[in-house]
A and B are shown apart, each in its own frame.
Chain A
Amino acid sequence: MASESILRVNAVDKAFGGIHAVDRCSLTVLPQSITGLIGPNGAGKSTLFNIIAGLYRPDGGEIWFDGTRIDGLPPYEIVHLGLTKTWQIPHELRNLTVLENLVLAAKGNSGERLLNLFFRPRQVKRDEKQWRARAREVLKLTQLDGLANEHARTLSGGQKKLLELSRALMSDPALVLLDEPVAGVNPALTGSLMDLIEKLRQGGRTFFLIEHDMNVVMNRCDWVIVMHQGRRIAEGRPEMVKTDPVVIESYLGG
């Protein structure tokens, strides 16, 4: 049925003390889609993303990414498999510059291994140069290029969101989990960012994003999954979800 899915979450469970944040949640994401994840505050969306990215260990269930079982793997191995997550609350590396934040997010930069510094200086130099150039390209896409050499801590809230997205793109992921990517970003930029995401999707990437901005969800996602109290309660095309009585009930009933 969902054999061609890029991400499959199967009965994943997570409780914090008495709070059952994710409750036997199952869902799939199709490759090259822009799939939206919506639900009221506290529905467990961010928690689910953190579990998928390996930052929380699930209490039960399985997660499959591109044919590999990834639950229980450390976050850095999941990134190397091609799955990257951004944070709802930006986790910028404050005292590094914007450019450093991006270059750091690249995979396989040989200078990040200590011995290579001494035994492969030429490759180190070449890699670093290549990744800096790539980082500048990405910054142009997200319109942060003017701030390349500023400390990340000096960015505004919206700019930090852009930094999150830019960093995610640096690792060349097949699947990107975006936790509220445009919250706090001004409307004009939101449009061009979603255009960028659309373009990247056409280039073969998959996006799975949490968003409260219904404009974005309705106009940009081609599939929407609704979460409530830790479970998937509905899914479908945006226009169908919008009119689903169960969904309306969960939002209004809180």
Chain B
Amino acid sequence: MASTSSGGIPNQAAGRKLPWSEVIAFVAIAVIVLAGVLAGVLAGASPQGILTNVGFYASIAIIFAVLALGFNLQWGYTGLFNAGIAGFYLIGAYTMAIAITAPSPPIVIGGIPVYPGHLGGYSLPLAVGAILAMLAAGGAAVIIALPALRLRADYLAIATLAFASILQILANNLQSVTGGAIGITGIPKPITFVSANAPFLNAITIVGIGSAILLLFLLLLQFMAESPWGRVLRAVREDEEATMALGKNTFNYKLQAFALGGALMGLAGALFAVTLGYVSPSSSFAPAVTFSVWVMVIVGGSGNNRGVIVGAFLIYGLEWLSVQLKDYVPIALAAGLPTIRLLLIVVGLIAVIAAGVFVLFSRYMPTRGWGRVLRKIQERGWVRNGTIGAFALYGLGWVFVFLEQYKPGAIGDTIFYTRLMFIGVLLIILIIYRPEGILREHKRVLR
């Protein structure tokens, strides 16, 4: 990976070890994508359909990655907690939609106004729309931050939370601007394709443009955040009062970080508008988006720009995969039921025998060779934890088997609807064992 630079001065420790955490993270993402592809193959989708689907994953993950970069600048670097990420995202998406979409007059059917139309119809170029989206969201961040950043830290969270809720209500009700509940449709694609392959080609262009933007902003943020300027941000995060007493106008730094972070979230919104082709005040801008981004930054490693991108690809990957598996899992479970039952019986037998042998022989355990290994395992508490885990899994297996016989299909659906709980459990495990995230913030070794 690119080494960081501080105003052009090399900043990296010499002689790096193999970055295991990065390897693991990339393998995990690869496994998610492959599992999704496999599910597509098993469901009998066409190769192009599968690729389009993977492209969709990548484009949404890129959008989340941009959101995560914005939040990382605010929180990971500067310690500013933003509870209204969805609001800045919404502003970006609507600004983009209004700026680049062709005019759409109100629709009246039989004297009843069905669609009130929306502001805009300016048909501006995409790049102009994206810049406007960043300015609008960044400007909104400044307006909120000016009063809120002068107060105690928790007021910023409250203010941003309120801001996001108000925006979602406004988007729903300010019909002549936002198109109300229907929203704004017909947002143009970067390139208009007229062929049967249009969805595929669209996915490819969007992923291409998204990756370029993500890379550009990763490099830019890395340059800024790892500079002396970024060092002041980290100082503010650690102790604002001390930083002030060291001669820094901390308010200015907080304002800059918050505004730039907000602008990035606006850019993510602009990407979202173009990727989907429509915006509406639906779940896309619900508080759940904000929570997802928090999880991505915490899991990936706050204070590490590459880490939060990994977090976005991982967490959204789990979400995406659960959708891919939604249709396949019930079928597979039904088909594999006899095999699963047999497997459980065999595993159960083996476990009972192994436990018996272990208990019998643990008294006369030799101190060399295998005995040493066994003793070490015992000392570390692996036996206890492993046994508990194995029994839990085993019991769960039987519950599954009986449930599946009693009500076929229920389990597959349950897995789908409990996927957020699953992500929550993963998050808790991670916070316990690696609170600094998968790719932790590195130490800046100056030379």
Contact = CB atoms under 8 A, between A and B. Distances in A.
Contact of B445 (A79, A85, A97, A103): A97
A124 B245 contact: no
A214 B234 CA distance: 38
B83 to A, nearest CB: 23
Given A97-B444, A100-B444, A129-B9, A91 B227 contact: no
A190 to B, nearest CB: 24
A167 B245 CA distance: 11
B189 interface: no
B77 to A, nearest CB: 11
Most buried by A among B238, B239, B256: B238
Contacts of B17: none
A121 B229 contact: no
Contacts of A53: 245
Given A53-B245, A76-B244, A125 B235 contact: no
B428 to A, nearest CB: 23
Interface stretch (B246-254, B286-294, B325-333): B246-254
A100 B229 contact: no
Nearest to B251: A74
Interface string A114-151: 10010001001101110010000000000000001101
Nearest to B436: A95
Nearest to A123: B7
Contacts of A94: 238-239
A91 B245 contact: yes
Contacts of B444: 96-97, 100
Interface in B216-253: 223-224, 227-229, 231-232, 234-235, 238-239, 241-250
Given A93-B242, A114-B224, A128-B6, A79 B247 contact: yes
Contact of B8 (A93, A125, A151): A125
A149 B445 CA distance: 6
B368 interface: no
Most buried by A among B232, B249, B446: B446
Contacts of A80: 247
A103 B11 CA distance: 14
A79 B241 CA distance: 13
Interface string B2-35: 0000111100000000000000000000000000
B244 A128 contact: no
B407 interface: no
Contact of A93 (B235, B247, B441): B235
Given A114-B224, A128-B6, A95 B229 contact: no
B248 A112 contact: yes
Interface string A50-89: 0001010000000000000000001110011000110100
A171 B247 contact: yes
A91 B239 contact: yes
Contact of B227 (A79, A117, A151): A117
B238 A97 contact: no
B14 to A, nearest CB: 11
A21 interface: no
Interface string A96-117: 1101100111010101111001
A151 B244 contact: no
A113 B229 contact: yes
Contacts of B228: 103, 109, 111-112, 124, 127-128
Interface residues of A, number: 41
A124 B249 contact: no
A84 B248 CA distance: 12
A218 B250 CA distance: 39
Nearest to B223: A117
Contacts of B242: 87, 91-93
Contacts of B223: 117
A114 B260 CA distance: 11
A104 B235 contact: yes
Contacts of B243: 93, 104
A94 B243 CA distance: 12
A99 B11 CA distance: 12
Interface in B404-447: 441, 443-447
A55 B241 contact: yes
A162 B243 CA distance: 17
B248 A76 contact: yes
A117 B224 contact: yes
A84 B246 CA distance: 7
Nearest to B239: A91
Contact of A124 (B7, B232, B234, B256): B7
A237 to B, nearest CB: 31
Contacts of B441: 95
Contacts of B232: 104, 112
A46 B190 CA distance: 62
Nearest to B245: A75
Contacts of B445: 97, 149
B7 A96 contact: no
Contacts of B234: 93, 95-96
Contacts of A128: 6-7, 9, 228
B243 to A, nearest CB: 7
Given A117-B224, A125-B8, A96 B247 contact: no
A171 B243 CA distance: 13
Contacts of A113: 229
B7 A117 contact: yes
A95 B246 CA distance: 16
A197 to B, nearest CB: 19
Contact of B446 (A74, A97, A121): A97
Most buried by B among A99, A104, A149: A104
Most buried by A among B7, B223, B241, B441: B7
A74 B7 contact: no
Contacts of A92: 242
Given A132-B447, A171-B246, 4 more contacts: A76-B246, A95-B234, A103-B228, A117-B224
Interface of A: 53, 55, 74-76, 79-80, 84-85, 87, 91-97, 99-100, 103-105, 107, 109, 111-114, 117, 121, 124-125, 127-129, 132, 148-149, 151, 167, 171
6 contacts: A76-B248, A91-B241, A96-B234, A97-B443, A104-B243, A121-B7
Interface of B: 6-9, 223-224, 227-229, 231-232, 234-235, 238-239, 241-250, 256, 441, 443-447
